[in-house]
Structure 1
């Protein structure tokens, strides 16, 4: 399983979602703004050769990181989970099947499985990387309670 993100190039219109956040007081940015207004990024998630999240578009990074953090906690607790995307109606379902997690989509016909521990590690690493990148770009975000939930 592989999940990663990339920050838009400076000539991309999506880069403005990063630059706009730098003009705000970072510790006071609201959850709504962080989830839906700032930090557009390309994200790719591949499980067993299937591109679950395609890097061909942009997603709001904080929204996805918070969703994956929640999904990680649910799966770690032995529960099923799901996450969606601000920009799309698609929902990704994570269903426990013994020591495996079945990953399915509300919009796509594929079904893949991944070991529970591998999924948890991948989500955990991803959210740590998101936190590190956000706080390196804007150090004051480390004091923001929403961003603290990602770490």
Structure 2
């Protein structure tokens, strides 16, 4: 399985402009620039795309890991905050902080956190990132049961 994205850039770093497109068409000629990455201008940037990829990959991996153990989440909501820091003459993405809000019936907090930490370590995007990854869990056991039998 291969996934493809294309980036085009015109001009110099500070005043140039680019466009990002994905093979699926979800992003099509989506603008990005120095000011969308390092300033407050509206538009995409590589760092938020990495954050979106990490949040979505982890959440899918967690859903799958829970299902393997017989649990079905009522709700999994993950945000990822990717930190970019100046290093030497350039910049580096140094960490990704996952923040998870979860409602899962019929599972204790310890079991849930164990499954969540395993999903954090083993989702494909986590494996691809060479940086510090943390997970902050806001867990609530649901009052009703929608999960499969264990």
When normalised by structure 2's length, the TM-score is 0.30
When Rg is computed on C-alpha atoms for both structures, the one with the higher figure is: 2
When normalised by structure 1's length, the TM-score is 0.30
Relative CO higher for 1 or 2, CA cutoff 8 Å, sep ≥ 6?
1
